[in-house]
Structure 1
Amino acid sequence: MSFNRRGFIAALAGLCLLAVSAPPLPASAQQPYAETFMLGNGMQVVVIPDHRAPVVTHMVWYRVGSADEPQGKSGIAHFLEHLMFKGTTRFPPGAFSRIIRENGGEDNAFTSKDYTAYFQRIAKDRLGLVMDLEADRMQNLVLKDENVLPERKVVEEERRERTDNDPSSLLGEQLDAILYLAHPYRKPVIGWMSEVNKLTREDAIAFYKQHYTPANAVLVVAGDVTKDEVKKLAEEHYGKLANTFDVQPRVRTQEPDPIAPRRVTLTDARAASPLIQRSYLSVSYATAAKSEAEALDVLAEALGGGATSRLYKKLVVEKRLASYAGAWYSGDGLDSGSFGVYGSPVPGGKVEPVEAEIDAVLEEVKANGLTEDELKRTKATLIADTIYARDNQGRLARSFGSALTTGTTVQDVLDWPARIEAVTLEDVKAAAAKTLDIRRSATGVLLPAPGAPAGGGEPAMPSMSNSPEQ
């Protein structure tokens, strides 16, 4: 799927992980089987059997992310993710990950704009152990200033390393800030430094008590298990937990309909090469009409998914204006999505000709759509990708968790490849005409500082600031 190659593959990109039962695919590529059920306390459970190895991936997803943060507390969702490892009465600070490692497993967590997730990969006979650990910290987190304040310093340093010291990440952050005028998607997941460095233990506890409860969570288990095995363990460990509050619908400030394009230029001595990146406000899978989001996935792949894509062939191969060029569609948002294009001039080149050629390619596809050959090749690529991705148990689990926390269902995940196969030329043309409206766009330009040494530092690459923070 056309997407940010440096970022995490988010929810609807994760839908590509599932194989399809279309005739061209071999029997081994059929879509995986998944079952879902609810615990008595409202916690949803998804089971994805995968019996190739005696291991499991266990994930707990909370329906809360940076877009749900209180005003002035940006970064609190990600900060709390860090603090969830600081211990409970039963398991002191550091014990959670230590126990996982001692049992041969691995664990981590990540936060996005719409969800926060915690995961472990471990031998199947340790599944009850990880459920015990995760259920305990769902309700019994203990926070003290002596471990909260140092962890805030860790988050501040993470922001410096991943964002403040990376010009392309700074550009992506600024681009989000102007693409969204009102919606909280405009905030970076990691938070603005001016607010992160003021977050307190009380802020974290309040956010924890407001969002962490079984009815606001989804449990996903993929691996060498059956539904009955998972259900027994889930009821034993999670089912006994009472909800500490009534979960309310997530109501956010809605983005007004765009009426004018926006633009930002960032000049940075650390940038090795110029970069132009444009984002268009679009529908997401949760908000799209029938076939619309799937058409945008196809469009992104056809425009910028690789060496055979339109943007790459036109800008890199034929015109030799760009070192690279591409496109992506991020359809995983609960409230909206975004469609992006980008390109970087060849050494010594200028941004203006690259932008002009990108505009020409976009106008051509808006006017005439794709060719039958492009449509066929692109759909085959997207579907073929599902075959290879099935080998990654963790990515399978992520595809379901991210979908269920952003407004779609297990069946939506399973049906995705068939819906891609059903996309028509008319669907793609209509989606392009609606989405690629310059009034719906924000354009960012990254330029090396005048006089900066040519070729210094890392090449500028597009950055999507809605990639989850770990």
Structure 2
Amino acid sequence: MSFQRRGLKAAFAGLFLLAVFVRPLPAAQPLAETFTLNNGMQVVVIPDHRAPVVTHMVWYRVGSADEPQGQTGVAHFLEHLMFKGTTKYPAGAYNRLIRENGGDDNAFTSKDYTAYFQRIAKDRLGLVMDLEADRMQNLVLKDENVLPELKVVEEERRERTDNDPSSILGEQLDAILYLVHPYRKPVIGWSTEVPNLTRADAIAFYKAHYTPANAILVVAGDVTVDEVKKLAEEHYGRLTNTFDVKPRERAKEPDPVAPRRVTVTDARAASPIVQRSYLSVSYATAEKGEAEALDVLAEALGGGATSRLYKKLVVEKRIASYAGAWYTGDGLDSGTFGVYGSPVPGGKIEPVETEIDAVLADIKANGITADELKRTKATLLASNVYARDNQGNLARAFGTALTTGTTVADVLEWPDRIAAVKLEDVKAAAAKVLDIRRSVTGVLLPAPGSAAGGGEPSPPSISNSSQQ
């Protein structure tokens, strides 16, 4: 398994960059064309002719939020099992063929989607399409390859969550922020449910969600639309749907009426951390311009060394080692807006939280300045341009958007919408989202007398599985 464990700033930078990747690319992007195969599978092609390489991704509109009751982690478990082989390509053949042809591959699961991707020379595109199309419908699962993989998933949970105090805090924050919506469940599954997953559970989930009409093919790289269309029709177009795809129906989260709070005390925590999440809209659920204003607000409030929180807590007051904010707007049903901070060595958490509250109150009352708006827009748009330099980012932008309720046009038009954000838009967004009744505050504390040993906030709740 290949899992990245990042520090606090890197973790939230990752959150920011992930959001950038799912955002619209400038209109100067050469082409992003979409078409649909006869079986309902949507295809997006993003030409990038700088090198004879392609990134091929298959996205399924299913994630941990779509799991049956009592089977948390089955979406991620099935992601692992998709590498266990078919009759045509037995166990081990998939990875062997990718490596022999000079490519690399990976997969990841989130709350709203599951994706599989390969990066390979353009003349091998037909090979990876054949491999991916075959396992979309012909996966062979036996107890002898399912049960050992379940042990691997259990170990991942212990490594990524149970042994990481900040991940434990993050898991608790989600569970408390959402009362009924399935976003409250961890992608990797609850420790009490993962060991009980079975081959039958995985097969049932596979048969219920993996079919062409529930999938999106994204190809970025040294290809033309006509080349991709010919290969896609040859390999994916021949597949028939095994069920009728219906809109995803999930429990609706009630409007929050009171703030919530959780404290985790752990001997392995290196230093105290305060982290607050607000339930917010996502790009798919927001009113026009609202999500863009939240992106601007998060960057101005806590996007880096020039942000409001960092300057106030770290530079001026010198009470925090770091402080920042983030907005994740790529959820199908909702988003989250968050702030965080950690005291200087030997400091207390209470002054940090108090100062965060003061900064938030000022933002709500007065908004941000014209200079902050200008600087923030420039930062967001520059980061978007930098993200285009990697064709994997290009592919991921469109795949994430199309599995979470937005469109290719939304992706392409995002820079113009960011440029259109006004000071009053940011102030209105702050007044709406920074309502303490819509929040959960989490505090991570080292156990009294414990030695430092961890405690950095965890990465976003996406599981990346590298099958070797």
Q: What TM-score do you get using the length of structure 2 for normalisation? A: 0.96
1:122-153 deviation line (CA, Å, top 9, x unaligned): 00000000000000000000000000000000
- In 1, Cα distance between equivalents of 2:260 and 2:459: 17
- In 2, Cα distance between equivalents of 1:299 and 1:233: 43
1:467 aligned onto 2:467:
no
Evaluate the alpha carbon distance shift between residue 69 and residue 111 of structure 1 in structure 2; reply closer, same or farther with a 3 A threshold: same
- RMSD over aligned Cα atoms: 1.4
- 2:16–2:328 CA contact under 8 A, matched in 1: no
Equivalent residue number for residue 27 of structure 1: none
Equivalent residue number for residue 67 of structure 2: 69
Shift of 1:92: 0.7
Of the three residues 395, 403, 406, the one matched with 2:404 is 406
- In 1, Cα distance between equivalents of 2:16 and 2:373: 23
Equivalent residue number for residue 119 of structure 2: 121
Of the three residues 182, 192, 215, the one matched with 1:184 is 182
Amino acid at match of 1:41: N
Shift of 1:8: 6.0
**After the TM superposition, which residues 26-425 of structure 1 pair with which residues of structure 2 at under 5 Å, given as runs?**
30-425=28-423
Shift of 1:12: 3.8
Secondary structure at 1:197 match in 2: helix
Amino acid at match of 1:5: F
Equivalent residue number for residue 440 of structure 2: 442
How many pairs align? 457
- 1:60–1:119 CA contact under 8 A, matched in 2: yes
Shift of 1:260: 0.3
Secondary structure at 1:210 match in 2: helix
1:151-173 deviation line (CA, Å, top 9, x unaligned): 00000000111111110011000
- In 2, Cα distance between equivalents of 1:70 and 1:135: 25
- In 1, Cα distance between equivalents of 2:462 and 2:155: 18
Equivalent residue number for residue 5 of structure 1: 12
Of the three residues 448, 457, 461, the one matched with 2:453 is 457
1:302-324 deviation line (CA, Å, top 9, x unaligned): 00100000000000000001000
- 1:148–1:201 CA contact under 8 A, matched in 2: yes
Secondary structure at 1:361 match in 2: helix
Evaluate the alpha carbon distance shift between residue 276 and residue 326 of structure 1 in structure 2; reply closer, same or farther with a 3 A threshold: same
- In 2, Cα distance between equivalents of 1:87 and 1:9: 35
Q: What TM-score do you get using the length of structure 1 for normalisation? A: 0.95
Percentage of identical aligned residues: 80
1:36-78 deviation line (CA, Å, top 9, x unaligned): 0000000000000000000000000000000000000000000
Shift of 1:13: 2.9
Amino acid at match of 1:91: Y
- 2:285–2:333 CA contact under 8 A, matched in 1: yes
Shift of 1:386: 1.7
- In 2, Cα distance between equivalents of 1:232 and 1:3: 41
- In 2, Cα distance between equivalents of 1:119 and 1:290: 32
Amino acid at match of 1:466: S
- In 2, Cα distance between equivalents of 1:364 and 1:39: 52
Shift of 1:15: 3.4
- In 2, Cα distance between equivalents of 1:462 and 1:432: 24
1:14 aligned onto 2:21:
yes
Equivalent residue number for residue 26 of structure 1: none
- Gaps of at least 5 residues in structure 2 are 1-8
Shift of 1:17: 6.9
Secondary structure at 2:126 match in 1: helix
- 1:12–1:403 CA contact under 8 A, matched in 2: no
Amino acid at match of 2:241: N
Amino acid at match of 2:239: L
- 1:7–1:463 CA contact under 8 A, matched in 2: no
- 2:176–2:260 CA contact under 8 A, matched in 1: yes
- In 1, Cα distance between equivalents of 2:16 and 2:342: 22
- In 2, Cα distance between equivalents of 1:326 and 1:462: 12
Amino acid at match of 1:457: G
- In 1, Cα distance between equivalents of 2:134 and 2:203: 16
- Gaps of at least 5 residues in structure 1 are 22-29
Shift of 1:201: 0.2
Secondary structure at 2:76 match in 1: helix
